[in-house]
Chain A
Amino acid sequence: MSPQPQAAVGAPLSRVDGRLKVTGRAKYAADHEPEGVVHAVVVDSSVGRGRITGIDTRAAEAQPGVLKVIHHRNAPELPYGPNPGSLNLPGERLRVFQDDQVRFHGQPVAAVVATTLEAAQHAASLVKIDYDAERPATDLTEAPAAGEPRTYARGDAEAALRDAPVRLEMTYRLARTHHNAMELHATVAQWEGERLTLWDKTQWVQSPRDELAANFGIPAANIRVISPFVGGAFGNAARAWPHLTIAALAARETGRPAKLVLTRRQLYFGVGYRPSYEYKVRLGSDRRGRLTAMTHDLRSETSGYETFAERGVIVPGQMLYTTPNVSQTHRTVPLDVNTPTPMRGPGYSTAAFPIESAMDQLAAELGMDPIELRRRNEPENDQSSGRPFSTRRLRECYTVGAREFGWDRRNPKPRSTRDGDWLIGTGMATALYDTLRAPGQASVRLDADGAALVESSTSDMGPGTYTSMTQVAADALGLAVRNVTFRLGDTNMPTAPLHGGSLTMASVGSTVQDGCDKLRQQAIELAVEDARSPLYGVDAGDVVVRGGRLHVRDNPARGETYRQLLTRNNREYLEATGSWTPGQSRSSMFAYGAVFAEVAVDARLGLVRVRRMLGVFDAGRIISPKLADSQAIGAMTGGIGAALLEHTVTDHRDGRIVNANLADYLVPVNADVPDLKAIYVDGRDDEADPLGVKGLGEVVLVGVAPAIANAVFHATGRRVRELPITAESLL
């Protein structure tokens, strides 16, 4: 096959779905309104642990418009069969309305279904529930761990620490944080006999399909999930949470399509979150800054009914820096809370705060530049596996970042720069995230008029799947972008993997490219074997397609358009199916980055303001530079929240989350965010996937909070080992 000219990939395209989004015509889950839809509102537990002893629904049912109040005493017994889907965790998932047990504050205990939202909301407030309440355990610092810890060891960390000329020991704490995507989780469920249609907010249409098939005991083939637009998710719409079952139940019990939209408050316990951590680090190094040992002892919260542990949290400690001796334990602590779930940069961004803070502290201890310290510990291969890195341009990230940020102008002495009342400091941190890939399928159809339709059941929660897939397809088909339509978010489309973990571009992108390559090849073969074609007799390998026209690579004048070819051959369309399965790799594959931050800290008030940030990333090839830039800048913005604002406050007396709203759980607003800059270093990773991409949505977040924390230290001389860094911690 002749390589196709690349015109769309790498071009700074605006979003192909931009017009729909700026005019309000993009349809998110709750925007769907099937004929006769009714509204379901969840009643959640007002105690943190215990048993329901009484339910009085009379006042609620007396409300005009109320059709049904569903709770454990009248709900049908649901099969809740095993769901082989990969998102299930050890333990037993929450079964809605199947028993009288309350496992956490906010657990769904009833649902009101009414003809209007107003009636359902009001009636939900009238459902009276009595409990036999117990005091819940919700404090990570007090509760014991359960089960066997995950462990890792190489060398003899204890001995190496004993012998290390420089030894540090620190404990870090990370608050629980919530995804808080702008779109509320919403599901519209409609039954037709034993067939169920769901309009759902999801990062993976197969996930709600498989979950509801298992819960209701019906074949997955009976369920169609439609999700063309997702209003942000950051990992939180990967699993099918309990409210999906409630929506389907509400629809089945009333014989009407039912819409269920969780409230903002309910998102704090109705769906997952990034768990809180205690993370203890000990490290040893020689006087020249070469690490000899590092130990990592972690405790993180999970629910009492499922065990969630961030998979990636122990990876950086094993391979980011040359460390001959490593010891790790990760224990999970079951609490009376709902189950956590992956949130952007899962695990890696958790680990980055303690590890990168510790490295910064070591640099200060040694009087060494933090970048120089990292360079001295840059490994030649992946020490956890002995494998070579496919690509690792981290040194380049440091070099470019230091130059663009003006790092050499930095006075290394903490608390050395003032601007009026403000103490000014700069800091940096390293980022990494592993290059995940998964098999997928896509369908491609090229019509005789030269327009192509490409479909795969992936999702677009914001990064720009619609646009980037259109770019890949356009180049592989040799079409202008405007002649390619990419559709996603429907279980009727070919299967795609979870839209998460930064794997979509590598996985679905390679799948789309494969399908389009196949279709282009079909067309070329049709032409070279067609005696009426100007390409008749040409070696198929010598034909390329550009602007919808097939021609000899070295002789553009000899050729014809898709339209001419298909019309002459009486073909209304050509079709192909793309698929891609990642092969076993012999290499260690990660995306990397270096993040730089400048902060100002009010010396008297402890207020921290980020003044500027720069992220430099090695994410392999960049398909869609305009959108990749937005991803990075957006992640820096989110990282400002994690560093300085976001934490969940729980009243441990009853397990209630006190700040379950956007007025008290602070996320960055426009005035919190300065001008931010992102740079992607050039290069592709051909081992990772046919597109040469390494994934970027996660890595761009990972180093942000530690870079800010290190800048706060540089500004103030105070080392805060707890996220978020609040004014109180600096006074």
Chain B
Amino acid sequence: MSTETSESATSPPTQPPSAPSRRTFIATTSVAGGVIAAGGLTAGSSLLGADEAAAADTAPSSRVSLTVNGWRHTVTVDNRTSLLDLLREHFGLTGSKKGCNAGACGACTVMVDGHRVNSCLTLAVRLEGAEVTTVEGLAEGDQLHPLQQAFIDQDAFQCGYCTPGQIVSGVGCIQEGHTGSAEEIREWMSGNICRCGCYVKIVRAVEQATGRK
């Protein structure tokens, strides 16, 4: 029954966490109640909300500490919760999107410990000590990440729904060095579907941010 949000000692926050959702808030205040779980498993699930406390008596849950966009969270979470649902439904970080919930579309792409992953396929409880970066964590204050700016410049999106995943994936693609040619970018950006069909411009945006253009 605990959620603590604090600045990470190692990685300076790029932006404050989003306003705590009611659930996070309840969970956080519950720390003041002094209920500390032992052994990583708790009877209560703080992320389930006040009137869900009874329900949580049997919903298997675990305690996990992870860093999201530079902010450290310690949460007790239903074992079935995906990282995507943790971000969206509990942390209020709705930038990462659910497009298929099966790892086929990439709309939920986030960075975990420097690697791009489908957060819909990642169980939150597996992320003890992990560093997670979502689209909300890319800009430095008002200063957009170069790839975010490139997406705007190249008009690399239309509806914008796949865009957070595309951008995080593009950041990974650049970090991995898979930007040697347009063809290489196409290949390494093919885990992110854009149904509006902006691939041509997504490639140009990745090229722009890489300095190839």
Contacts and interface: CB of A to CB of B under 8 A. Distances in A.
B163 interface: yes
Nearest to B90: A116
B155 A23 contact: no
Residue of B52, B186, B200 contacting most chain A CB atoms (<10 Å): B200
B85 A33 contact: no
Nearest to A116: B48
A28 interface: yes
B195 interface: yes
B161 A64 contact: no
Given A21-B163, A183-B159, A65 B203 contact: no
B10 interface: no
B136 interface: yes
Contacts of B151: 18, 22
A182 B159 contact: yes
A461 B157 CA distance: 11
A569 interface: no
Contact of B21 (A22, A33, A119, A662): A33
A419 interface: no
Interface string B149-176: 1011101011111111001000000000
Interface residues of B, number: 72
B205 to A, nearest CB: 10
Contacts of B48: 65, 115-116
Interface string A15-26: 101111111111
B134 A24 contact: yes
A230 interface: yes
A184 B197 contact: no
A515 interface: no
A233 B155 CA distance: 19
A18 B97 contact: no
A182 B187 contact: no
Contact of B52 (A18, A30, A116, A627): A116
Contacts of B99: 182-184, 264, 662
B94 A662 contact: no
Interface stretch (A275-283, A532-540, A614-622, A667-675): A667-675
Contact of A118 (B57, B80, B187): B80
A14 interface: yes
The SS class assigned to the B binding surface is loop
Interface stretch (A157-165, A545-553, A587-595, A628-636): A628-636
A22 B144 CA distance: 9
A531 to B, nearest CB: 45
A668 B105 CA distance: 11
Contacts, number: 214
A703 to B, nearest CB: 15
A184 to B, nearest CB: 6
Given A182-B194, A670-B202, A65 B52 contact: yes
Residue of B92, B160, B186 contacting most chain A CB atoms (<10 Å): B160
A626 interface: yes
Contacts of A115: 48-49, 51-52, 55
Contacts of B57: 64
A179 B197 CA distance: 12
B89 interface: yes
Nearest to A180: B195
A429 interface: no
Contact of B152 (A15, A117, A675): A15
Given A118-B81, A662-B193, A462 B158 contact: yes
A113 to B, nearest CB: 13
B46 interface: no
B135 interface: yes
Interface string B84-115: 01001100111111111110110100000000
A638 B195 contact: yes
Contact of A64 (B58, B139, B201): B58
Contacts of A184: 98-99
B174 to A, nearest CB: 15
B76 interface: no
A233 B189 CA distance: 23
Interface in A226-267: 229-234, 261, 263-264
A7 interface: no
Contact of B136 (A23, A233, A675): A23
B41 interface: no
Given A183-B159, A229-B160, A661-B104, A35 B22 contact: yes
Contacts of A22: 135, 144, 148-149, 151-152, 157, 160, 163-164, 167
A230 to B, nearest CB: 6
Contact of A461 (B144, B159, B164): B159
Contacts of B11: none
Interface string A308-344: 0000000000000000000000000000000000000
Given A116-B89, A669-B199, 7 more contacts: A15-B155, A64-B54, A64-B59, A115-B49, A183-B97, A663-B104, A670-B192
8 contacts: A17-B160, A22-B144, A64-B59, A116-B48, A181-B161, A184-B99, A230-B159, A634-B158
Closest 6 CB pairs of A and B: A24-B95, A637-B197, A231-B161, A634-B197, A21-B160, A462-B158
